[in-house]
């Protein structure tokens, strides 16, 4: 349980960072920093859980101090990218609805 909670926290933080970075890079899709961070955190959490279910612990590799480094890197990269993608999709949908 402790490892799972830490993975979820890492996924949410990485997703929020990815969403915020995407908002800075894609100004026309940005919903403001709080909106980008929230949508990114949601996307990071969802994508991180999907990756955990698909890849499981099979990513294998170096346990350092009781922490699986490969799993941590997978969570950070996957959730960051997932957060950026979800922020962009929500921003695109928001812009499309506002044009009508």
**Model pLDDT, residue 33:** 95
Give, as one character, the DSSP assignment of residue 31.
-
Alpha-carbon gap, residue 11 to 29, rounded angstroms: 22
Helix/strand/coil (H, E, C) string of 58-71? Answer: CCCCCEECCEEHHH
- CA–CA distances in Å: residue 89 to residues 12, 22, 34: 18, 11, 16
Spatial separation of the C-alpha atoms in residues 37 and 87, rounded to whole Å: 8
The whole-number pLDDT of residue 6 equals 86
pLDDT at residue 88 greater than cutoff 80: yes
Name the β-bridge partners of 56.
Answer: none
pLDDT value for 4: 80
For residue 63, what are the β-bridge partners?
A: 68
Q: Which among 33, 45, 28 has a CA at the least distance from the CA of 92?
A: 28
Tell me the pLDDT band of 38, cut-offs 50, 70 and 90.
very high
32: confidence class by pLDDT, cuts 50, 70, 90: very high
Q: What is the pTM of this model?
A: 0.83
3-24, pLDDT tens digit by residue? Answer: 688 889 999 999 999 999 999 9
pLDDT of residue 61: 52
β-bridge pairing 63-64 and 67-68: antiparallel
């Amino acid at each position: 349980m402790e490892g799972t909670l830490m993975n979820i926290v890492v996924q949410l933080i990485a997703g929020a960072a990815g969403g915020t970075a995407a908002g800075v890079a894609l100004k026309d899709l940005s919903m403001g920093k709080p909106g980008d961070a929230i949508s990114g955190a949601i996307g990071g959490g969802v994508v991180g859980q999907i990756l955990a279910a698909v890849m499981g612990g099979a990513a294998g590799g170096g346990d350092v101090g009781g922490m699986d480094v490969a799993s941590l890197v997978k969570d950070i990269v996957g959730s960051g990218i997932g957060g950026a993608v979800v922020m962009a999709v929500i921003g695109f949908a928001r812009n499309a609805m506002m044009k009508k």
